[in-house]
């Protein structure tokens, strides 16, 4: 048996480009698996020289999938640079838009990206293990799932005036208040949205019960967990302090987001363009942590909305007193957050300040730098700008959600490959599990470029000298 290298490129059903290489040794066992992120955007560099008020319009172009997260994180960094905290009504409206983003993104991921694996099975024929197969198998559910995503998108469009690249948040506030009829329109979709999310929760819990063996051997490993919380350690997605807990569940740090550089650093590997953030005091890789739904729920003691909080209690009961380490529970955590976001939409719409026109702080106290942090659907998103006295950007540092999870995604790929691939005869279903390890994190590798016929999947089998032994194309 000759040692082999298997390459899956790109990984399917995630947002962007990635490649998985699985190296088999002479015995046909997995030696190591790597997740490579092989694109480079350079956004930080070409933001230099732009004005701070332009940044909420420029940075959403980083991604066509979660532009709202960049839009809001950028506006928050702009608030700090201008020294202009937004009036409360503006923060409520920004948060409302953010909840729309969470609902549409989490809904899309669960029902349309992860759903085929969960509902049709990892080993199902790839010809039907997709959103159309799902629709054929569960037409009513799929229509509900499409409507759930649509509801989230409509919240964004109602506030931002556009379906993509919203023009809404500006440094110091927002540029549009909410009308009463807009509130009623959003509320009209609330009951259906919650009902659909609850169906999803029943699905994932039923699936977990029936697939406990997979859950317990699919990429289960200890890390720290990182994310925003409120003063009482309740889940926060828009504002708050950053909390970091260790693998044992004990709090390591809780700090103001603007101090992030005191606590985290980024490690570089020569086989990926994506850096590996870690907790400085524990070094790399000891200080690696996870973000996103699993990270946030492990990090939160409670949730401020009743239905999601009840689900959180069930989630916490999976591994009492300790963090939930199972990668496949990202899906359960994602739906609990989706439920929170939907419930929180109603809370925000019921707030007496929601119709206020006091939405922009025009009193400025310029600062040389500003940090904006938000919990994007995929995890903590950090925008850090340095500007001159006129507000011209001199330097930008962006730590995107997927970056925080980089080590965890690599570990998950390696773990799943070693668990499920036991010999040189690698079946499609096994490769799909490796891809699913990446998909569970819902990474956003931000390509947003898609021309006809550009992205077939190719799996290359190579020997240690890089000679091509076999090519499998999935197009």
Among the listed residues 50, 149, 383, 433, the single contact to other proteins using CB under 8 A? 149
Q: Does the footprint of other proteins cover residue 133 (CB under 8 A)?
A: yes
Question: Residue 70 CB, nearest distance to other proteins (Å)?
Answer: 13
Nearer Cβ to other proteins (181/475): 475
Among the listed residues 26, 125, 136, 259, the single contact to other proteins using CB under 8 A? 136
Question: Residue 10 CB, nearest distance to other proteins (Å)?
Answer: 5
Q: Does the footprint of other proteins cover residue 74 (CB under 8 A)?
A: no
Q: Does the footprint of other proteins cover residue 155 (CB under 8 A)?
A: no
Nearer Cβ to other proteins (439/462): 439
Choose one: 107-115, 201-209, 237-245, 366-374; the region binding other proteins (CB under 8 A).
107-115
CA distances from 389 to 54, 347, 363 (A): 16, 39, 15
Question: Residue 295 CB, nearest distance to other proteins (Å)?
Answer: 23
**Under DSSP, is residue 20 helix (H, G, I), strand (E, B) or coil?**
strand
CB neighbour class for 397 (10 Å; exposed up to 12, middle 13-18, buried from 19) = middle
Among the listed residues 49, 127, 209, 213, the single contact to other proteins using CB under 8 A? 127
Question: Residue 76 CB, nearest distance to other proteins (Å)?
Answer: 22
Rounded Cα distance, 407 and 294, in Å: 15
Binding mask 33-52 for other proteins (x = CB under 8 A): -------------x------
The DSSP code for 113 is I
Q: Does the footprint of other proteins cover residue 474 (CB under 8 A)?
A: yes
Among the listed residues 162, 314, 395, 427, the single contact to other proteins using CB under 8 A? 162
CB neighbour class for 180 (10 Å; exposed up to 12, middle 13-18, buried from 19) = exposed
Rounded Cα distance, 74 and 60, in Å: 9
End-to-end, the C-alpha distance of the chain in Å comes to: 29
**Under DSSP, is residue 413 helix (H, G, I), strand (E, B) or coil?**
helix
Measure the CA angle with vertex 17, ends 12 and 20; round to 5°. Answer: 65
Following DSSP, what letter does each residue of 90-159 receive, concatenated? HHHHHHHHHHHHHHHHHHHIIIIIIHIIIII-TTS-TTTSSHHHHHHH-HHHHHHHHHHHHHHHHHHHHH
Nearer Cβ to other proteins (14/373): 14
Choose one: 155-163, 287-295, 313-321, 332-340; the region binding other proteins (CB under 8 A).
155-163
Cβ–Cβ < 8 Å for 109, 442: yes
Choose one: 13-21, 193-201, 251-259, 354-362; the region binding other proteins (CB under 8 A).
13-21
Cβ–Cβ < 8 Å for 271, 36: yes
Following DSSP, what letter does each residue of 178-214 receive, concatenated? PPHHHHHHHHHTHHHHHHHHHHHHHHHHHHHHHTHHH
Q: Does the footprint of other proteins cover residue 432 (CB under 8 A)?
A: no
Q: Does the footprint of other proteins cover residue 165 (CB under 8 A)?
A: yes
Nearer Cβ to other proteins (163/364): 163
Q: Does the footprint of other proteins cover residue 164 (CB under 8 A)?
A: yes
Binding mask 441-470 for other proteins (x = CB under 8 A): ------xxxxxxxxxxx-------------
3-state secondary structure 354-410: HHCCCCECCCCCCCCEEEEEEEECCEEEEEEEEECCCCEEEEEEEECHHHHCHHHHH
Q: Does the footprint of other proteins cover residue 131 (CB under 8 A)?
A: yes
Backbone angles phi, psi at 186, to 5 degrees: -65, -45
CB-based contacts of 474: which residues, under 8 Å, 6+ apart? Answer: 12, 126, 428, 456, 457, 458, 459
Cβ–Cβ < 8 Å for 142, 134: yes
**Under DSSP, is residue 5 helix (H, G, I), strand (E, B) or coil?**
strand
Q: Does the footprint of other proteins cover residue 61 (CB under 8 A)?
A: yes
Q: Does the footprint of other proteins cover residue 187 (CB under 8 A)?
A: no
Q: Does the footprint of other proteins cover residue 112 (CB under 8 A)?
A: yes
Among the listed residues 25, 51, 53, 146, the single contact to other proteins using CB under 8 A? 146
Nearer Cβ to other proteins (296/439): 439
Nearer Cβ to other proteins (140/232): 140
Could you list the residues that contact other proteins (CB under 8 A)? 10-16, 46, 61, 64-65, 108, 112-113, 126-127, 130-133, 135-136, 139, 143, 146, 149-150, 153, 161-165, 167, 447-457, 474-475
């Amino acid at each position: 048996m000759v040692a082999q290298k298997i390459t899956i490129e790109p990984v399917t059903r995630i947002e962007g480009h990635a490649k998985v290489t699985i190296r088999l040794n002479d015995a046909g066992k997995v030696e190591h698996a790597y997740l490579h992120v092989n694109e480079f955007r350079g956004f930080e560099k070409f933001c230099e020289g732009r004005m701070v008020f332009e940044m909420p319009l420029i940075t959403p172009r980083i991604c066509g999938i979660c532009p709202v997260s960049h839009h809001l994180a950028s506006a928050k960094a702009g608030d700090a640079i201008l020294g202009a905290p937004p009036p409360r009504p503006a923060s409520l409206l920004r948060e409302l838009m953010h909840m729309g983003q969470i609902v549409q993104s989490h809904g899309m991921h669960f029902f349309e990206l992860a759903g085929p694996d969960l509902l049709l099975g990892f080993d199902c024929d790839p010809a039907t293990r997709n959103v159309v197969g799902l629709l054929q198998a569960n037409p009513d559910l799929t229509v509900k799932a499409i409507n759930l995503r649509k509801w989230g998108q409509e919240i964004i469009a109602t506030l931002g005036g556009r379906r993509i690249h919203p023009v809404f948040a500006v440094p110091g506030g927002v540029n549009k208040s909410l009308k009463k009829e807009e509130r009623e329109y959003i509320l009209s979709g609330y009951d259906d949205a919650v009902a659909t999310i609850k169906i999803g929760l029943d699905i994932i819990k039923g699936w977990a019960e029936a697939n406990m063996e997979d859950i317990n051997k699919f990429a289960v490993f200890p890390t720290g967990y990182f994310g925003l919380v409120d003063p009482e350690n309740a889940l926060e997605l828009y504002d708050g302090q950053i909390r970091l807990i260790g693998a044992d569940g004990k709090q390591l740090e809780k700090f103001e987001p603007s101090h992030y550089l005191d606590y985290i650093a980024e490690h570089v590997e020569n086989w990926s363009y994506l850096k590996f953030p870690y907790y400085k005091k524990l070094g790399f890789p000891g200080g690696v942590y996870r973000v996103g739904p699993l990270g946030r729920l492990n990090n939160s003691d409670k949730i401020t909305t009743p239905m999601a909080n009840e689900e959180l209690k069930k989630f916490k009961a999976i591994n009492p007193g300790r963090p939930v380490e199972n990668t496949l529970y990202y899906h359960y955590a994602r739906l609990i957050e989706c439920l929170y976001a939907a419930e929180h939409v109603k809370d925000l719409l019921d707030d007496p300040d929601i119709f206020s026109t006091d939405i922009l702080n025009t009193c400025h106290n310029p600062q040389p730098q500003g940090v904006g942090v938000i919990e994007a659907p995929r995890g903590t998103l950090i925008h850090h700008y340095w500007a001159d006295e006129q507000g011209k950007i001199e330097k930008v540092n962006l730590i995107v959600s997927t970056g925080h999870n980089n080590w965890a995604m690599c570990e998950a790929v390696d773990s799943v490959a070693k668990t499920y691939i036991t010999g040189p005869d690698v079946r499609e279903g096994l490769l799909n599990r490796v891809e699913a390890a990446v998909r569970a994190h819902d990474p956003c590798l931000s390509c947003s470029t898609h021309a006809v016929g550009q992205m077939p999947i190719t799996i290359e089998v190579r020997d240690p000298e890089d000679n091509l032994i076999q090519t499998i194309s999935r197009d």
